[in-house]
Structure 1
Amino acid sequence: MIRKSFAPVVVLLALASGAGMAQAQVPANITAALSSPVRPAADTARDAARKPGEILAFAGVKPGDTVVDFIIGGGYFTRILSGAVGEKGVVYAYQPAQFIQYSAKYGEDLKAVAATVPNARPLDGTLLPLDLPDNLDLVMTVQNYHDLHLKPFPTGTAAGVNAEVFKSLKPGGVFLIVDHAAVAGSGLSAVDSLHRIDVAAVRAEVEAAGFKLESESPLLRDAADTHTINVFDPAIRGKTDQFILKFRKPG
């Protein structure tokens, strides 16, 4: 993520049950990846809140997959993906050049991933055009989709990225998006001010590229979040209401 500069009880029980089932069904390849020695203590300390095992299980990550962690940030998910796909798989760690230009730390984080994470291949191409290989099994982006709409980036950046991701995925491939929820019906209005985005806007944009929404997970939903606070505010940081959308390329 880049900072701005340039119901009823029955329903609650159902959600709790669903989350429990998701945790129980995390496959062995992902469970093992969570314990990988390449993961620093600062990463593992965040697992309870971020639920990476359940998220990657929801995405369907398998040994041997070729995946892209798009806008890796500090590489939290890159390191887990590496173990989950195993030695026969590949993880492309994509840190856009625009992010590295904004903050040198993004470049340093990419170099650290390249030096310490097996089967991770660093990419520092532009947002558009994307420097992505073809025949991918999965592209995922976590807490960063809204960034594609920040004012420094040209109008149409998100649409362009969605189109290129669609092109790069194999038929049946998955595009997984996790992001901070904005007020329902607010569209893109909170992107710059709060670093949030309306889930309906994301769905409309991604489906316009040809994807089909397969499912949505409640794993990171939090009804206590009012959707009106900047995600970097200490009062809410790390505790935001987040949506998880799993799109699939037809075929």
Structure 2
Amino acid sequence: MKKTLIIMGGLTALAVTAATPVAAKHHAKDGAHSESNLRMIITNERRAEDSVRDKYRHPAETISFFGIEPNHTVVEYVPGGGWYSRILAPYVADKGKFIGLTFAPDPLPFGDEAKERIRNFPTKFPNDVAEWTGMPATKFAAYTTDKVPEEVNGTADFVVIPRMMHNLMRWNLADSEIKVMRNMLKDGGMVGIIQHRAKDGTPFSYADGNKGYLRTDTVVKFMEAHGFELVNQAEINANPKDTADYPKGVWTLPPRYAEGDVEKAKYTAIGESDRMTLLFKKRRDHLLSHG
């Protein structure tokens, strides 16, 4: 039986019993098995090229913090080159389901060719995941946000949004896209956000998404306004070396190196961006009417 992930931030349940219940023992075994399986996927040779970025992206720690389990239905928003897909897809393929989700193409500030590639995403992406993982394409699904089938709504346990909130903000797509993701989630379903982080107090003129950075309070307030509550946050993907104030934005840092060879050694030493890691829970609909 598949389960919906619900994590109550800061709440720990303690049970005083003479012996550990059988169900708790099984849960502990399942958790250990899940962690072992996750580690195997992350260290698989299929990820040889991806793994050089693990020291900046901390996939095992991030997925464990989010609480994603193998029996969850997980939606990855804008998978791009599939860095997270190559971990999440095989992790949930047998007991859960992996869904790729990308932008509705028409509102994007892109040319016709790029929009056509996005329209082809639902057909192409499952085959890409099959090639990456060695699993059948039929195990995976993919949609653009304007073409999500009605029967998919309310079925997802988890949505992962890696380093994409800044684009939603700067392209004025955030409201419409997050509403689609919210509809796909079950009540109590979770959203995990990893996002380039501006320093607290950074002027909005810099931290509006156009430089790749957002302030944490901007993201939290936006999600709260769209029917989510923040239940936890972590410093797993923090990088205190990142000053987050570059004229060419986050793309100054690796892997993009927007300044080319200018001070490249300096930016290499900094590494990839400082990132917030936030966990949100979908509030029940009846609470929204009072919010």
**Do the structures match in fold with TM over 0.5?**
yes
Aligned residue identity for 1:164:
V
* Aligned match of 2:186: 170
5 Å-filtered alignment, 1:4-83, equals 27-37=35-45, 39-83=46-90
5 Å-filtered alignment, 1:29-178, equals 29-37=37-45, 39-96=46-103, 98=105, 101=114, 110=125, 111-117=127-133, 118=135, 121-126=140-145, 129=146, 131=148, 133-134=152-153, 135-150=155-170, 153=171, 155=172, 157-178=173-194
Query: 1:25: Cα distance to partner?
Result: 11
Query: 1:226: Cα distance to partner?
Result: 1.1
Q: Please give the secondary structure, in 2, of the residue aligned with 1:196.
A: coil
Aligned residue identity for 1:60:
G
Q: Contact 1:180 / 1:197 at 8 angstroms: preserved in 2?
A: yes
Change (3 A) 1:238 1:70: farther
Query: 1:212: Cα distance to partner?
Result: 0.9
State which of 269, 280, 284 in structure 2 corresponds to 1:247: 280
Q: Contact 2:200 / 2:215 at 8 angstroms: preserved in 1?
A: yes
Query: 1:200: Cα distance to partner?
Result: 0.8
Q: Residue by residue, what CA displacement relative to the aligned partner does 1:186-225 show, whole Å, maximum 9, x if unpaired? A: 3474345411111111110101111110000101112221
Moved more, 109-118 or 193-202: 109-118
- 2-side partners of 1:75 and 1:35: how far apart? 16
- 2-side partners of 1:244 and 1:167: how far apart? 22
* Aligned match of 2:264: none
State which of 199, 218, 222 in structure 2 corresponds to 1:205: 222
Query: 1:26: Cα distance to partner?
Result: 8.1
Q: Contact 1:26 / 1:54 at 8 angstroms: preserved in 2?
A: no
Q: Contact 2:34 / 2:69 at 8 angstroms: preserved in 1?
A: no
Number of equivalences: 221
Structure 1 residue runs without a partner (length 5+): 1-23
Q: Contact 2:167 / 2:210 at 8 angstroms: preserved in 1?
A: no
Q: Please give the secondary structure, in 1, of the residue aligned with 2:250.
A: coil
Q: Contact 1:73 / 1:109 at 8 angstroms: preserved in 2?
A: no
Larger radius of gyration: 2
Which consecutive aligned stretches of 4+ in structure 1 deviate over 6 angstroms post-superposition? Answer: none
- 1-side partners of 2:63 and 2:83: how far apart? 12
Change (3 A) 1:180 1:28: same
Change (3 A) 1:102 1:40: farther
Q: Please give the secondary structure, in 2, of the residue aligned with 1:201.
A: helix
- 2-side partners of 1:82 and 1:200: how far apart? 31
* Aligned match of 1:17: none
* Aligned match of 2:260: none
Please, what TM-score do these two structures have when normalized by structure 1?
0.76
Q: Please give the secondary structure, in 2, of the residue aligned with 1:28.
A: helix
Structure 2 residue runs without a partner (length 5+): 1-31, 258-266, 285-291
- 2-side partners of 1:26 and 1:182: how far apart? 34
- 2-side partners of 1:206 and 1:188: how far apart? 20
Q: Please give the secondary structure, in 1, of the residue aligned with 2:144.
A: coil
Query: 1:67: Cα distance to partner?
Result: 0.4
**Cα root mean square deviation, aligned:** 3.0
State which of 196, 213, 221 in structure 1 corresponds to 2:238: 221
- 1-side partners of 2:281 and 2:206: how far apart? 27
Q: Contact 1:139 / 1:175 at 8 angstroms: preserved in 2?
A: yes
- 2-side partners of 1:244 and 1:191: how far apart? 18
Q: Contact 1:180 / 1:240 at 8 angstroms: preserved in 2?
A: yes
Query: 1:95: Cα distance to partner?
Result: 3.3
Q: Contact 1:29 / 1:85 at 8 angstroms: preserved in 2?
A: no
